[in-house]
Amino acid sequence: MRLLQLAFVVALASGVAAILIYITGVSNLDGSFHLSSEDLESLESLQSHFRKCVSANGLGLQAVTGKDNCEVSLVFPSNTAPNWKDPKTGEREGLSFNFNLCEAVATWEQVRNSTTILTREFIDALPNGWEEYAWRRINKGVHLNNCENRTLCMEKLSLVLPDRPPYAPKQLGRCAVIGNSGDLLKTKFGKEIDSYDAVIRENGAPIENFTEYVGTKSTFRLLNRGSAKALDKVAELYGIYTIFRLVGGLILICKHTKNFKSTDKGKEVLIVKTTIHDIMNKMIREIPILNPVYLMLGASFGSAAKGTGLKALEFALSICDTVDMYGFTVDPGYKEWTRYFSESRQGHTPLQGRAYYQMMECLGLIKIHSPMRADPNRIVKWVPSQSLITAARIASEKLLRRVGAGSSDPLAKCSIIAKQLKAKFAVLMGSRKAAVEHYKYVRGTTMYPLEHNPGHGQLCTVPSK
């Protein structure tokens, strides 16, 4: 009997302790991340502007508020014909897509302040960076036993791993991201595209024979892993451009010029999204490939449009003031996903992509150009002001319990802080006012996204004294 009484007392004490812990946790949540009336007002205003923007610019899309000020559904007209089928289930794509505006505002703000290039200082600063991270960026890295032989891992990554980021936020002004959609053949955007400070292209999309539609400038190029088997054809196709497609890697090819002038001639820079491969290392050394080669360090967007296009926009938004997009299937009426230079392609979710890109435009991140939006001077109506975006971002970070939420100090978002490697900073300070102002804003700190990190904190390196 005494034993039962003792067990009852222990259970009761445990229950009381659990309740106290719960109350304390809720109290800390409300205290540390409490949304003020101004925060709530900013989120409500963002939703209002967003709904009006989608209605005015979405070509039939409508935004419907969800159960709170973060959730929103982008709904296509009922007469829209979804043609993409899930290859596993055979089900057709739906006509309504749910997004989280708070998550989008907070994450894209992080992208605009981060570097998207993997560097040695990132791996060095990341706890157990070589043992738990670096080996995953090497194809068949599992055989490296978590970089048990660190020297071997460093050797394999050495050709693609700069000490410091080669690019910085706001380094460039106006940038254009060019997709491969067949809608490019409906409007002659060539001269308009060539007017940008930098042009980002995707995959093996040709320029020759299509210049009046796609332009001639190619500053950066993003390639996916599916282009691995056509290396010889791509090399012939591009002539002066050296473009390589490798198994297991998404490759970004960039025109490497000091000031990114359209008149400069030079090789493009290759940035691999996933892993470095021994075959690629061999090509770099033996062909040789004179292009600088890097790995991409990207952010995690959760529920978003998938594919090369989003990664190209991410890269552009991390280094450019403004980003415009061409050649994405964003207009209604398409019966199938097409490319301007080849046959139709399977495996995309065009409606989801259209919805997500429209969300990006109505958050002021990009401007869409297409046959139905061909006026280069088109005004995107009801885009939230920068001050509203900033206020909504602050509120969103609190609501999402992001690291550093509510603080005006950009370094408050740093989950990990380390000293920078002593290396020459890539940005020529004074070249662009926006870049200089950003450098001062972050006090010379380089910020890296921490993928799948609780609270979406950042790894930050600060200048060495």
pLDDT in tens, 23-41: 333 333 333 468 999 999 9
Is the per-residue pLDDT at 53 higher than 80?
A: yes
Is the per-residue pLDDT at 60 higher than 90?
A: yes
Distance CA 405, CA 398 (A): 5
The pLDDT, as a whole number, for residue 42 is: 97
The whole-chain average pLDDT of the chain stands at: 79
Handedness of CA 189, 337, 365, 244 (dihedral sign): negative
pLDDT confidence band for 218 (50 / 70 / 90):
confident
**Tokens 């980003």 identify what position?**
323
Choose among 178, 182, 189: nearest CA to 342.
182
Q: Helix 350-361 to helix 101-112 angle, to the nearest 10 degrees?
A: 70
- Average pLDDT on 451-464 reads 84
Distance CA 38, CA 435 (A): 30
Distance CA 460, CA 449 (A): 9
- Percent of the chain whose pLDDT exceeds 70: 75
The pLDDT, as a whole number, for residue 294 is: 80
Q: What is the pLDDT of residues 383-405, one digit of tens each?
A: 999 999 999 999 999 999 999 99
- Average pLDDT on 347-353 reads 74
pLDDT confidence band for 348 (50 / 70 / 90):
low
Domain boundaries, the chain: 172-368
Fold entry, domain 172-368: sialyltransferase cstii, chain A (3.90.1480)
The pLDDT, as a whole number, for residue 124 is: 94
Q: Which residues of 245-382 form beta strands (DSSP E)? A: 251-255, 268-272, 293-295, 320-326, 367-368
Residue 87, helix vs strand vs coil: coil
**Which of the residue ranges 43-47, 159-163, 343-347, 432-436 would you say has the lowest mean pLDDT?**
343-347
- One-letter amino acid at 246 equals L
The pLDDT, as a whole number, for residue 132 is: 86
**pTM of the model as a whole:** 0.83
Q: DSSP for 385-419?
A: PHHHHHHHHHHHHHHTT-TTTT-S-GGGGEEEEEE
Distance CA 426, CA 165 (A): 7
- Average pLDDT on 269-281 reads 73
Pairing of strands 446-449, 458-462: antiparallel
State which H helix or E strand residue 65 sits in.
strand 62-65
Q: What is the pLDDT of residues 155-182, one digit of tens each?
A: 888 888 999 999 999 999 999 999 999 9
| Residue 423 or 213, more confident | 213
Contacts of 26 (CB under 8 A, 6+ apart): none
Distance CA 422, CA 191 (A): 42
Q: Which residues pair with 99 in a beta bridge?
A: 72
Is the per-residue pLDDT at 151 higher than 70?
A: yes
Backbone φ/ψ region at 320: left (φ over 0), alpha (ψ -120 to 50), beta:
beta
Distance CA 193, CA 325 (A): 10
**Tokens 């509120």 identify what position?**
395
Backbone φ/ψ region at 305: left (φ over 0), alpha (ψ -120 to 50), beta:
beta
Pairing of strands 268-272, 367-368: unpaired
**Which of the residue ranges 45-49, 132-136, 231-235 would you say has the lowest mean pLDDT?**
231-235
Distances (CA, A) of 432 to 108, 173, 261, 357, 396: 22, 8, 14, 28, 30
Residue 166 preceded by cis peptide, ω within 30: no
Residue 92, helix vs strand vs coil: strand
Residue 177, helix vs strand vs coil: strand
Choose among 445, 433, 363: nearest CA to 409.
445
The pLDDT, as a whole number, for residue 173 is: 95
- Average pLDDT on 38-65 reads 96
